[in-house]
Amino acid sequence: MKHYRQSLRILGLIVAIAAPVALLTLWSIAQDTPSAPKEKTSKEQFKNIKVLKDLPANKLIPVMHQFNDALGVKCDFCHVIGPVHSGFEKDDKPAKDMARKMILMTKGINKQQKLLGGQATCFMCHHGSPEPQTQPKPEGK
């Protein structure tokens, strides 16, 4: 029985020393492990981003393609596209500034109008046309 108690004391001592050491080791490893790389924003990756700054960079081009579809246009409707696919950052076309204003308007609608559940899009007014349709088309046209 005496031998058993002595073994329990030794085991308790080992656990009392080993547990904190193990925890400190794990904590140290966790501190040295780099966290997942932060995803770049559109502003960090692209030039002259003024409205969609906080959008993850990998989502900017798909969002731009949604604008193309909603307005029935190609990239060059708003963007200057030069040789070797350059010039997107230029503000030479008035349509680009108007697009920024319309994006802000749509964001405002989504923020303020709960009825739409944050689902307002360019397509709601443009229906695949560069100009928003504010009146129904006459029948047969």
Report yes or no: 79 and 96 within 8 Å, Cβ to Cβ. yes
Q: Which position has the higher pLDDT, 88 or 140?
A: 88
Residue 9 has pLDDT above 80, yes or no: no
Domains of the chain: which residue ranges?
1-33, 42-126
| Average pLDDT value over all residues in the chain | 86
Question: SS3 of 76, please?
Answer: helix
Q: Residue 138: helix, strand or coil by DSSP?
A: coil
Structure tokens at 10: 């030794």
d(CA 80, CA 95): 11
Task: Please give the model's pTM, rounded to 2 decimal places.
Answer: 0.70
Q: What is the pLDDT of residues 86-96, one digit of tens each?
A: 999 999 999 99
Of all residues in the chain, the percent with pLDDT exceeding 70 is 74
Tens of pLDDT, residue by residue over 36-77, are 678 999 999 999 999 999 999 999 999 999 999 999 999 999
The span from the CA of 131 to the CA of 133, in Å, is 6
Two tokens, residue 122? 């360019």
Sign of CA dihedral 104, 107, 111, 114: positive
- Give the C-alpha separation, 40 to 90, whole Å: 21
How many helices (DSSP H) and strands (DSSP E) are in the chain?
A: 5, 0
